[in-house]
A and B are shown apart, each in its own frame.
Chain A
């Protein structure tokens, strides 16, 4: 079963624009993580936010977490063509201690 649902399923933007992806989940979590997957490759860890944190930054990435709404968002600022990939949220569920991945957002950045 998949814990997270991501929105939108697909997103197309121009280079330089910002990209926002949202993730909703169902159960209490220890942390929420975002991963990127380039076509034909494995997933790469981007950023982790703990359940007691509300916002975190890493370079051009900004992640927010709202545990009351069971949702998170990933913002990529000043996007580049190289950001083209699928992005997945993954929740570390408190009751099972398993990392469960969402359905993903496919981001296309046009030069």
Chain B
């Protein structure tokens, strides 16, 4: 099966600019996650979707971050305006959404904010 696709792989922007990341999950996976991974740390959950509804966005900085999941398939994560501390890898993951199903991760987008 095709894996989780993310684009772009790398992005460099200046602070106060906006940026968007795209994710295409594994076909048929109901649950989609966005994680932020700062260098040297573990991934931190930003938002979790079940189909096209938000299950958890408690750690999403909603004043600058937004996310949507189009028709319960692809998802975009946007940052506007970006801050220096947003420099991180943004990982998208998906899972079938039932039982103990593990997460399948994409390779991430490495964001550098200068």
Contacts and interface: CB of A to CB of B under 8 A. Distances in A.
Given A42-B4, A98-B56, A2 B44 contact: yes
Interface string A27-42: 0001101010000111
Interface stretch (B14-22, B61-69, B77-85, B98-106): B98-106
Instruction: Bin the interface of chain A by size.
Output: 20 to 34
A31 B100 contact: yes
Contact of B41 (A96, A100, A103): A103
B42 A104 contact: yes
B48 A98 contact: yes
B88 interface: no
A45 B42 contact: no
B108 interface: yes
Contacts of A104: 41-42
B13 interface: no
Contacts of B35: 101
Nearest to A41: B107
A45 B100 contact: no
B56 A45 contact: no
B100 A98 contact: no
Given A33-B102, A104-B42, A43 B48 contact: no
Interface of A: 2, 4, 30-31, 33, 35, 40-45, 48, 50, 88, 92, 96, 98-104
